[in-house]
Structure 1
Amino acid sequence: MTRPAALHDFSELLLRLYRLSHELPIDAFQDAALDLIKPVLAFDSSMWGTATRTDSGIDIHTIHLHNQPGEMLAAYEEVKHLDTAAVEVGKRPKSTLSFNANAWFHRKDQAQLRAYGERFEQSNFFISSDVHPQTNFVHWLSLFRSDPDAHGTENERQLLASLAPHVMQALALNRIVHLDRLESGGQAPGGSAIGDLRGVLYHADRPFEATLKAEWPSWHGRTLPDALLKHFLGGHARYSGRAVVVTHHVEQRLLFLKSRRRCLADSLTSREHTIAELLARGDTHKDIAAILNRSPATVRNHIQSIYDKLQVGNVAGLIQELRLAG
């Protein structure tokens, strides 16, 4: 008699989780999702993120700390090479563990890791991970209990194993919904994607893939091209290449990317683009001359250059070409 009720409760939790993924902003979703889990799987704090497995431990790409101080991450970096639990969950594509920290990290050489766990009140662990076997890229969720006697049960471990794929998928959907909202301002048609600051792509639609392959024909699609990532990490908001234009917006240590094919308006200089925008809003060449403190003759020359580059003969054609550039 209890199984149908439990199934109903689980289904209701998932419905609420996916509803939150569509309703909440990205800076609020992960805490809300974790608070949703607590009544059915009690824990005190959490570490939720993505990483790449290396010989010296996990190399973290993104991280969300729940009820843990920011210094926890720096402290973990010093002991991660001792974390045999991270190694264990990385052995299979999908894995979920439940264990007591002192019992698992019992070796003499793991004393520093045990001290770290005591400092941040991580006495009992739940860890669930999803590992890409070809790239060693990991999406994982760790839940911590501070009470040394509050051991996890097998039923709880199985519950997290069932929940974790939905939690990770809901996070992916929450980010895609955020990306859609960023694009709702009537931008030029093109592609979109989400990546992290290490260049790993979490989502990319087909137009995005098509535009990047036009610029980099051998691009494989799992990570951003090195030239593009270095350009953005160098502080540039816009990449203008031979065949593609890509812009980005950073939130929560994620790159929200927009791509499109290069168009005629991309050949305009900064001054020409300013004049084109003023023409598009209805200003005359004399108005523009006054605004820019230039002679009317100089502005007329700029306008002719703009028309030549855009291959148009009037303001209506100019407006259409500017729209293609977003």
Structure 2
Amino acid sequence: MQSITSIAVLGHYLLKLGKISKDHLASELIREALQELKNVISFDAAWCGLITHNKDQKMVGIHHAETINLPTCFPTEWKSLAIDDEFAQEVDNLSDTVHHFSYPTDFQYEFETKELNQFSRKYQLLHGMSMCIKDTFTGHIFFITLYRHSGSSFTDINMAFFEQIVRHINQAWRYNLQEALELSPNHNMSHAGLVRQDGYILSIGSSLCEIIYAKWPKWEGVYIPNELLFHFDKTPTTIRLGKLSLNVSKKAGNIRIEIINKKKDLTLSPREYRVAYLFSQGHSYKKVAEQLGLSPSTVRTYLQRAYLQLDVSNKVELIKALNA
């Protein structure tokens, strides 16, 4: 009976998540999803976002961060201690697996540094549960961490729920970003970023991060450099950074930044062209598949090839490329 009840609870949450993904933008989705999660797994604080972990240089890069019942300075404080955080390294090394920890009530854990014990005491991080996913969409690590200030530790059923929920939240967030930016189904965001008008990063790809780090080595992430923020009032515009150029434009009330790739091969096979043309005319994958006698997955593959060959990233650019 307990297992049946658990399945019903999880199913109810996933239905709620589906509605959240329809009602909220990608920039709001994760926060709303975590607020709803409190009805399934009790927690007192949380944070989530996109990070990279360079093991060779022993450094952590935080590129997007959201906090719930934690101050905005929390990610920066954690970053200064991340090298010594064994729990964080364990989570990172074993991606796609939920991990949890529990402190003694005096926050004196013998296997952690004095600074980490003080940090956990400061924010009352008595119990924690975390999971990260290698996010192919951005090229970073997508993670969510929950904390409890008191009471019992997270249970096995909490961890089982959390694993499934994190995967679904990541997928819903990714789909919302793709839809907002009118990206192809297999398009990745490694070369692009979506930020608010004030420079706060909603999503950013690993390739774009590398360019920013090359220009501003001390960049801290979370917000784009002020030198880029200066150009927001001039959108649409192009920014030259060394041998590369960045296209800056407005999208759905936010700012889109993307590396401009000037290398194009406009050669499409007849079938790729036909799929791309029908899709550009507003037909769904299913309708294109029916008209051409293909499976929806094959349509996705042909469309992906067309986007790559034409070097376009959304339907408007696809239409222009096909007309050209």
TM-score, length of structure 2 as denominator length: 0.59
Q: Is the 8 A contact 1:22 1:173 kept in 2?
A: no
1:119 and 2:118 matched? no
Using the TM superposition, give the Cα deviation of residue 165 of structure 1 relative to its aligned residue in structure 2, in angstroms: 0.5
> Aligned pair in 2 of structure 1 residues 246, 124: CA closer, same or farther (>3 Å)?
same
Per-residue CA deviation, residues 128-157 of structure 1 (Å, 9 max, x unaligned), is 111369x9831110001011x321111211
Counterpart of 2:274 in structure 1 is none
Q: 1:194-229: CA deviations, max 9, x gaps?
A: 53689x855xxxxxxxxxxxxxxxxxxx62496699
1:66 lines up with 2:65 in the alignment: no
Matched residue of 1:48: which SS? strand
Moved more, 36-45 or 71-80: 71-80
Aligned counterpart, 1:151: 153
Q: Which amino acid aligns with 1:75?
A: E
Q: Report the secondary structure of 1:98's partner residue.
A: strand
Deviation for aligned residue 1:76: 1.4
Partner secondary structure for residue 181 of structure 2: helix
Secondary structure of 1:247's counterpart equals strand
* Alpha-carbon distance in structure 2 between the residues aligned to 1:153 and 1:114: 23
8 Å CA contact retained: 1:130, 1:139: yes
- 8 A Cα contact 2:81 2:115, kept in partner: yes
The 5 A counterparts of 1:223-238 are 223-224=207-208, 234-235=227-228, 236=231, 237=235, 238=237
- Which consecutive unaligned segments of at least 5 residues does structure 1 have? 184-190, 203-221, 263-322
State how far apart, in whole Å, the 2-side matches of 1:50 and 1:117 are: 21
What code does the residue aligned with 1:248 have? S
Aligned counterparts, 1:41-80, within 5 A: 41-55=41-55, 56-80=58-82
8 Å Cα contact 2:95/2:133 also seen in 1 = yes
- Taking the aligned partners of 1:75 and 1:245, their CA distance within structure 2 comes to 31
Match of 1:73, SS state, is helix
- Match status 1:195 vs 2:229: no
- Counting only pairs closer than 5 Å after superposition, residues 164-313 of structure 1 correspond to structure 2 as 164-180=166-182, 194-195=192-193, 223-224=207-208, 234-235=227-228, 236=231, 237=235, 238-239=237-238, 246-249=247-250, 255=256, 257=258
Query: Structure 2 vs 1, CA of residues 254 and 155 (structure 1 numbering), >3 Å: closer, same or farther?
Result: farther
1:41 counterpart SS class:
coil
Aligned positions, number: 235
Q: Partners of 1:254 and 1:129 in 2: how far apart? A: 27
Give the secondary-structure state (helix, strand or coil) at the position aligned to 1:53: strand
- C-alpha separation in 2, matches of 1:152 and 1:69: 23
Deviation at 1:82?
1.7
1:166 and 1:108, CA in 2 relative to 1: closer, same or farther beyond 3 A?
A: closer
In structure 2, the residue corresponding to 1:223 is in which secondary structure?
helix
1:223 counterpart letter in structure 2: S
Amino acid at match of 2:38: K
Task: Map Cα deviations across residues 11-47 of structure 1 (whole Å, 9 max, x no partner).
Answer: 2211211221121134432221111111111101101
Deviation at 1:70, TM superposition (A): 1.3
Displacement of 1:112 in angstroms is 1.0
Q: Which residue of 2 aligns with 1:311?
A: none
Counterparts of 1:131 and 1:112 in 2: how far apart (Å)? 28
Q: CA 1:261 to 1:20, structure 2 compared with 1: closer, same or farther past 3 Å? A: farther
| C-alpha spacing 1:12/1:107, structure 2 compared with 1 (3 Å) | same
CA root-mean-square deviation: 4.3
Pair 2,228 (structure 1): closer, same or farther in 2 beyond 3 Å? closer
Change (3 A) 1:100 1:243: closer
Structure 1 stretch displaced more, 86-95 or 241-250? 241-250
Q: Is the contact between residue 49 and residue 139 of structure 1 (CA under 8 Å) also seen in structure 2?
A: yes
One-letter amino acid matched to 1:28 = E
Structure 2 counterpart SS, 1:90: helix
Task: Flag the structure with larger Rg.
Answer: 1
* Counterpart Cα distance in 2 of 1:249 and 1:258: 15
Cα displacement (A) at 1:116: 0.6
Cα distance in 1 between the residues matched to 2:19 and 2:13: 10
SS of residue matched to 2:93? coil
Using the alignment, how far apart are the partners of 2:104 and 2:90 within structure 1?
16
In structure 2, what is the Cα distance between the partners aligned to 1:45 and 1:251?
A: 30
Query: What is the TM-score of this pair, normalised by structure 1?
Result: 0.58
User: Match for residue 29 of structure 2?
Assistant: 29
1:140 corresponding residue in structure 2: 143
TM-fit CA distance, 1:91: 1.7
Q: Deviations over 1:142-198 (max 9, x none)?
A: 001011x32111121121112111111122223233334xx9xxxxxxx99553689
Gaps in structure 2 of 5+ consecutive residues: 196-200, 217-223, 264-318
